[in-house]
């Protein structure tokens, strides 16, 4: 599963990315972290980025794409990844599409967390007020002024990606103003509908399930075969008994007929003899 999460600052992309990582066993790829890791590892691209960053410049898109290319080739990214903070512009999205095409990979979905900007500003103001009330210092990047600038930058640079991915039928929008749990549930529902991924817990259970069902199948088939054999044996025995009974009846019938014929013959012989005896006696008297 390969995803991009889109949304303005404060929309909850980081929270949802972490939940997806835990549920599906994929990795979250942050361009900032990847740049620092490449610099620390001293890779050729990392060394190029190091010089630019040291001079206070912005790292060119081709270097960022090179770092992403190296990162998604690593074993832990084989199951999939979520891109965090990239792409930020349409040219970066085009470069990413070209990279994935070369690697024969596809982007499964771009999920936009749509939020109300005025509500985001209210949240920041409330959070800043609560922080001051506790006597703590408000972070420099967590103020309404900074958020306003970041939102303006998002609208100018990143918001065009919504149209870009919508044209390519990759964009799926979720209401980011719902509770964290509801947003998570909606994202999972979308991914399951797409068939983009299977939870890692389900993947682990699958072989055992298949094994259990296979064993159960064998166990069920064996008694079924025995029962069928017994039934066939019983039926065969019944047919034999029926056949024997018919034969016995025929034998009895024949015997009865034979006895009847024999008796009739005997009676006829006796009848034939009696007149002869009487006639002989009459003649003797005369």
Q: Which one is catalytic: 79, 88, 114, 200? A: 88
Q: Which one is catalytic: 13, 50, 71, 170? A: 13
Q: Which one is catalytic: 19, 23, 127, 200? A: 127
Q: Which one is catalytic: 101, 126, 139, 155? A: 139
Q: For this structure, is 150 an active site residue?
A: yes
Q: Which one is catalytic: 19, 114, 150, 200? A: 150
Element (H, E) at 120: helix 117-133
Q: What is the SS3 assignment for 141-204?
A: CCCHHHHHHHHHHHHHHHCHHHHHHHHCCCEEEEECCCCHHHHHHHHHHHHHHHCCCCCHHHHH
Element (H, E) at 122: helix 117-133
- 3-state SS class at 78: coil
Q: For this structure, is 104 an active site residue?
A: no
DSSP sequence for 8-76: -TTSSHHHHHHHHHHHH--EEEEHHHHHHHHHHHT-HHHHHHHHHHHTTPPPPHHHHHHHHHHHHTSGG
Active-site residue list: 13, 88, 127, 139, 150
């Amino acid at each position: 599963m390969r995803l991009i999460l889109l949304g303005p600052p404060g929309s909850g992309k980081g929270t949802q990315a972490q939940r997806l990582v835990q549920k599906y066993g994929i990795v979250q790829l942050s361009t900032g972290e990847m740049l620092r890791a490449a610099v620390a590892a001293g890779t050729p691209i990392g060394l190029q980025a190091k010089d630019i960053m040291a001079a206070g410049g912005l790292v060119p898109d081709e270097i960022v794409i090179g770092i992403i290319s190296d990162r998604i080739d690593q074993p832990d990214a084989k199951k999939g990844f979520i891109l965090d903070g990239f792409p930020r512009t349409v040219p970066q999205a085009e470069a990413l599409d070209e990279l994935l095409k070369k690697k024969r990979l596809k982007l499964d979905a771009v999920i936009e967390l749509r939020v109300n900007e005025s509500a985001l500003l209210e949240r920041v103001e409330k959070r800043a007020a609560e922080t001051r009330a506790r006597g703590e210092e408000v972070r420099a990047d967590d103020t309404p002024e900074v958020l306003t600038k970041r939102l303006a930058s998002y609208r100018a640079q990143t918001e065009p990606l919504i149209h870009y991915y919508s044209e390519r039928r990759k964009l799926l929008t979720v209401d980011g103003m719902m509770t964290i749990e509801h947003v998570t549930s909606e994202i999972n529902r979308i991914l399951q509908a797409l068939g983009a991924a299977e939870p890692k817990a389900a993947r682990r259970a699958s072989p055992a399930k298949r094994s259990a069902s296979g064993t159960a199948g064998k166990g069920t088939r064996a008694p079924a075969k025995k029962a069928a054999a017994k039934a066939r044996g019983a039926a065969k025995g019944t047919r034999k008994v029926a056949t024997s009974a018919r034969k016995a009846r025929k034998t009895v019938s024949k015997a009865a007929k034979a006895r009847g014929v024999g008796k009739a013959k005997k009676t006829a012989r006796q009848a034939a003899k009696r007149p002869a005896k009487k006639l002989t006696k009459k003649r003797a008297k005369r």
